[in-house]
Amino acid sequence: MTVSAAPVRDLTPAGGLTPAQRLRSIFAGSVGNLVEWYDWYTYAAFALYFAHVFFPEGDRTSQLLNTAAIFAAGFLMRPLGGWLLGRHADRHGRKSALLLSVLMMCAGSLIITFTPGYATIGVAAPALLVFARLLQGLSVGGEYGASATYLSEMADARHRGFWSSFQYVTLVMGHLLALGVLIALQQLFLSDEQLRDWGWRIPFAIGALAAVTALWLRRNMLETDSFERSESDRAPAHQRRQGTLRELMKHPRAVLTVIGLTMGGTLAFYTYTTYMHKFLVNSAGFDGPTAALLNASTLFCYMLMQPVVGALSDRVGRRPVLIAFGVLGTLCTVPILSNLQQVTTATHAFWLILAALAIVSGYTSINAVVKAELFPVEVRALGVGLPYALTVGLFGGSAGYVALWFKQAGMESGFYWYVTACIGVSLLVYLAMPDTRRTSRIDTDTR
């Protein structure tokens, strides 16, 4: 009788790559992710300046509501992007999906850059804006699953948490760069009138050029060893089930785990990043410039935390880090937001927000690698991307709306308890799930 040896965790570089090869590929993947998120956030940052260009003359609020509706439409496309590009990544390769993702983002930015206004081409202007934003929604929705899978598979087992954390480093950096371009154009180069007339096109042009650069970098990326090995043992193309929903549903526990672990984390992330600027102005009473400075400075510090916490997970495991986020988030959300509502100094607000973001780092720094480690290679990108996009759309994307609904109803503290409850549900998932650092499906990719 033959006794099979227990699988040994591969602690060597992915696929025998040299450190330089692996670093170049991870860099190319991360830079593309940065460009994707810069382009995504640029729309929100400059909507105030281009809203009047794409819609009929009327009151400014209606124009802004139209641009906000298109922003939301792009957000709703993210699950579809997670499915389409996740399927593509599992069937045709992570590199191919990442190239397609950045190509769609580039096309969206170019369309916005060169589309004439409503006064010139009428209803075709908002129609083209919608089309461009839908392309970008598909792109950013597919980018998450493909990028998380690529970074996780490309890294070696010893440093997988560290390297995968750069997905959120570049995500936050993209947000900061969009804000930086806005501030630079406002303060140094253009008048308010020039920005409204034509200057708002500059950041979209920058995004398109940056996407071309990212496309060139990604063309030279190596495919991951996990995917390459799986190719040699696959059935003919017409018989393949890689990347299909039917195949994904064979892993219901992993799918539900992704939904559960994402729920509280994505709500906390959007509360302390995207919604925080509005909260500081509407609830804490800060003026706009001070709120923007607080938002940007805390985001910068938060960005630097990601690799530190990711590296910590490589030492102590993923589960303890997630549990720390769950426990601290459940206990501290109401006190932090209640105190933020009553602060009187920017310094006090800075430290409270930073404390909240430090807690959220327990989720954001490693959520991508945890999801990748849950699925087998044939449905990994789809399993990471689709359940995540659906959960983000439901809980993360609605964070600002729900918060403002509670405030309008005179029960603002109700939102604090809502965030707490969602983190509490995620904590139950963290307590029940295995430590994926020890049970990683990436380490058992033997095809």
Which is higher by pLDDT, 445 or 378?
378
Query: Could you read off the pLDDT of 54-96 as tens digits, one per residue?
Result: 877 765 556 555 666 666 666 778 888 889 888 888 888 888 8
| Residue pair 325/360 in contact by the 8 Å Cβ criterion | yes
Query: For residue 436, what pLDDT band results from cuts at 50, 70 and 90?
Result: confident
200 to 44, 62, 194, 330, 404: CA distances (angstroms) = 12, 19, 8, 41, 28
Using alpha carbons only, how large is the chain's radius of gyration in Å?
22
Mean pLDDT computed over 279-288: 83
d(CA 206, CA 209): 5
pLDDT tens track for 294-344 = 888 999 999 999 999 999 999 999 999 999 999 999 999 999 999 999 998
In percent, how much of the chain has pLDDT > 90? 28
Q: Which is more confident, 27 or 288?
A: 27
Which of the given ranges, 35-49, 275-289, 345-359, has the highest pLDDT on average?
A: 345-359
CA 258, CA 426: separation in Å to the nearest integer?
A: 10
> For the chain, how far is it from start to end, CA to CA, in angstroms?
24
DSSP secondary structure string for all residues of 325-357 = HHHHHHHHHHHHHHHHHH--SHHHHHHHHHHHH
Whether 30 and 169 have beta carbons less than 8 Å apart is answered as: yes
Task: Tell me how far apart the alpha carbons of residues 225 and 229 are, in angstroms, rounded to a whole number.
Answer: 6
C-alpha distances in Å from residue 146, one per residue of 94, 248, 291, 395:
6, 15, 34, 21
Determine phi and psi for 19, rounding to 5 degrees.
-55, -35
Question: Roughly what angle, to the nearest 10 degrees, separates helices 367-374 and 124-154?
Answer: 70
DSSP letter (8 states) at residue 377: G
* 283 φ, ψ (degrees, to nearest 5): -110, -40
Q: Cα separation of 445 and 447, whole Å?
A: 6
Residue 108: what residue type?
G
**pLDDT-derived band at 231, boundaries 50, 70, 90:** low
Please determine, for residue 352, whether its predicted confidence score (pLDDT) is greater than 60. Answer: yes
User: Using CA atoms, how far apart are residues 286 and 284, in angstroms rounded to an integer?
Assistant: 6
Q: How far is CA 82 from CA 331, 381, 388, 438, 446, in A?
A: 33, 8, 8, 27, 26
DSSP letter at 432 equals H
* pLDDT tens-place string over residues 87-134: 888 888 888 888 888 888 889 889 989 989 888 888 888 888 888 888
Distance CA 399, CA 75 (A): 13
Q: Are 222 and 98 in contact (CB under 8 A)?
A: no
The string of pLDDT tens digits covering residues 179-200 is 888 888 887 888 888 888 889 8
Distances (CA, A) of 57 to 64, 115, 197, 199, 342: 12, 17, 14, 19, 40
Domains parsed from the chain with CATH numbers: 19-227 (1.20.1250.20), 249-447 (1.20.1250.20)
Closest C-alpha among 150, 168, 50, 135 to residue 97 = 150
Nearest residue to 388 via CA among 149, 101, 68, 34: 149
Collapsing DSSP states into helix, strand and coil, what is residue 100? helix
